[in-house]
Amino acid sequence: MKQFSIQRIANDRLEKMVTDKIDNLTKPKGSLGRLEELALQVSLIQQTPFPILKHPCNILFAADHGITEEGVSKSPKSITWQQLYNILRGGAGINFLCRQHDFDLLVVDAGVDYDFPPMNGLLDMKIRKGTRNFLHEAAMTSQEMERCITVGAQCVERVHVQGGNVVSFGEMGIGNTSASSLWMTCLTGIPLQQCVGAGSGLSDEGVAHKYRILQQALDNFPGTHTPEEIICRFGGYEMVMAVGGMLRAAELRMVILVDGFIMTNCLLAASQFCPEVTDYAIYGHQGEESGHKLLLEYLHARPLLSLNLRLGEGSGAVCAYPIVDSAIRMINEMETFSNASVTKYF
């Protein structure tokens, strides 16, 4: 599998320099709270006391899941390709957020069960027309997983070459909360029942059916397994591409904006290969999917927003971006006490 070399962002000398800079801005020490923490994190990611954010991009990977054959989602898998057309026309939730916050949008067909004609705005990297049904067999082969990792990394490289140093990841794929729930339980040890939620809007009865199917899939995969085996058994092509993208973004010292339940599970999976990837992550929000809060706690993550979002597509990550932007404006645009001739008042 493609190897990544990711450095820890810790730098005691730089941390002291940036902290002193923040503490001497014209405000009481610590009075801008999380903005101060974000400014320090981005400074350490970029290894400079003068951080900047350039050309943010949301990469949206789309693919279908074989497990939808078992009725684990309220929506049919045809929604994947239909919504992808909507996104390409600019009419989806992620579109207005990208326009509002000046994000580029890169849309990637990772494995949608549909034949798209050549289209402007759609990058065709299709692995296969959807994963296999993991109730009965592995969702993907190890070769397919490795291809997804490589493609995800290449997509981030496109953003980086164009001058971007901030990337968020989104997904579109009916059934991917089921895949995410199984990654979560296998990689954290949290009981499956606490990892399974309503997805796109299942009733209580629907959630119970989803849990029974996923528990059966887990029972059909007994024993102890490597992260690679878990990812192949239950993953989605769009999810594994996001894993590769996250790893490459960290390797390139880019800021990673993490979206909801599915993308947080992708970061969890990425951390199985390179634990250092979490240093580069800023968690946009805590979503409505029931397992997301537990997963964030497991990762010791503090999301910026809690808006009852459950759309996916990268929407929560892009929605949170202005807070990160405010943190960088704070450290770069506020005056120090000495420059402003203001007496230090704390």
Q: Which residues contact 308 (CB under 8 A, 6 or more apart)?
A: 287, 288
173, 62 in Cβ contact below 8 A?
yes
What would the two tokens of residue 172 be? 């579109």
Q: Exposed, middle or buried, 303 (CB in 10 Å: 0-12/13-18/19+)? A: buried
Quote the Cα angle for 322-59-174, to 5°: 110
Return the bridge partners of 70, or none: none
**Rg of the chain on CA atoms, in Å:** 20
Per annotation, catalytic residue among 36, 276, 288, 313? 313
> CA dist 91 to 94, 175, 202, 284, Å?
8, 22, 24, 22
Crossing angle (nearest 10°) for helices 176-188 and 290-298: 40
Residue 313 is a catalytic residue? yes
Query: Would you please indicate which residues are annotated as catalytic (active-site) residues?
Result: 313
